[in-house]
Structure 1
């Protein structure tokens, strides 16, 4: 699935320096995704990745930073495409995602700065968001449900 692959690509380039499309394809293969260089090339274009100079003097793939607006927008799209259920339990919001998308959806939650969030913990397909109080948890749940229903 393209959304899962895009999520993984963003995770990879944010966690290590990737210099070439082949390096990125290899990292995706290590993660169990069967991809070709042509697929990775299309993904790079769709995600609008650019090459920037890394600290070690080599070029690496990165997201375009338009005042930190581009990445949160992409993450919001990933959130809406990967979340399959949201439930409010006391001060918690429990979010179910498609397998392998928990970390990316949690990154979206963090980047969107929902009011009343104390913190979040992500697994492979489940995220726990701790709200500061029950009312905040209800409000967060409503906002998140609206994001996935649009």
Structure 2
């Protein structure tokens, strides 16, 4: 009887010693570093319409990531996340791309071929539909008016699309100045971006 109890206790001790390692392995797939958490937040904000930090915490939790309100607030500041007002009038978080205005993203070749449609990305289409208010052009310049605080987001989308004939963008708060190679290109770019803005669903 005593030997049976000793064997039972030994088995229990071994199981208890192994359980922390098992738990650690189960949670290994969740982002455990700040860089990994930032990458996940960036992906979430790019795909979903997040309107509050509480909503973002819930989405992170669904990915197995638990974070405090203070930590999440710091993450959003470090990622330069800002709230913009969508075309529907609601505010949602967005993160501008890290590319330098007027330059292609690191490692990507500068392209100046194809049509504007060939270079139109899903991101550019979304931001034009959600943020673009008016478009005017004169000579080799196109002026884009956006919702308040949204100019940097739209400018980064235009830059990343690397549309032919566009030399670069300068963004303010609600105004983007797009520099093109010619008056003809300015007219073409203006019409194209307006068409993307008109693609937003009508209420």
For 1:141, the equivalent position in structure 2 comes to: 190
- The answer for unaligned runs of 5 or more in structure 1 is 1-15, 25-33, 52-59
1:94 positional shift? 0.1
Residue 19 in structure 1 maps to residue 37 in structure 2: yes
CA contact 1:79–1:108 (8 Å) conserved in 2? no
Per-residue CA deviations over 1:78-128 (Å, capped at 9, x if unaligned) read 232001011111211000000111011001111222211011101110000
CA contact 2:133–2:145 (8 Å) conserved in 1? yes
CA contact 1:83–1:148 (8 Å) conserved in 2? yes
Cα RMSD for the two superposed structures = 3.7
Q: Distance in 1 between matches of 2:137 and 2:143?
A: 6
If the length of structure 1 is used for normalisation, what is the TM-score? Answer: 0.56
Q: Where does 1:18-57 land on structure 2 (aligned, <5 Å)?
A: 19=37, 35-37=52-54, 39-41=55-57
Helix, strand or coil for the counterpart of 1:77?
helix
Residue 86 in structure 1 maps to residue 135 in structure 2: yes
Helix, strand or coil for the counterpart of 2:37?
coil
- The answer for unaligned runs of 5 or more in structure 2 is 1-33, 42-50, 66-74, 80-94, 96-107, 109-120
TM superposition outliers: structure 1 runs of 4+ over 3 Å: 16-20, 41-45, 60-63
Q: Distance in 2 between matches of 1:78 and 1:41?
A: 24
Q: Distance in 2 between matches of 1:76 and 1:145?
A: 10
Distance of aligned partners of 1:75 and 1:44 in 2 relative to their CA distance in 1, 3 Å threshold: farther
Helix, strand or coil for the counterpart of 1:19?
helix
